[in-house]
Amino acid sequence: MRPGMIILKGKTYVAECDGCGESIDTGLRSFRQAVNYISRAEGWENRKIRNFWRNFCPKCIEAGDPDLDQIGVTFRRTIEDD
Residue 60 lies in a domain: yes
Q: Are 16 and 1 in contact (CB under 8 A)?
A: yes
Closest CA to 44 of 70, 14, 73, 74: 14
79, part of any domain? no
Is residue 74 domain-resident?
Answer: no
Does 76 fall in a domain? no
| Gap between the Cα atoms of 66 and 74, Å rounded | 11
Q: What total of structural domains would you count in the chain?
A: 1
Q: pLDDT tens digits for 22-77? A: 999 999 999 999 999 999 999 999 888 788 888 989 988 877 654 555 554 444 45
Domain presence at residue 57: yes
Whole-model pTM over 0.75: no
- Given a contact cutoff of 8 angstroms between Cβ atoms, the answer to whether 39 and 53 are in contact is no
55 assigned to some structural domain? yes
Task: Please report whether residue 75 resides in a domain.
Answer: no
Q: Order the strands of the 23-25 sheet from edge to edge.
A: 6-9, 12-16, 23-25
Full domain range(s) for residue 22: 6-68
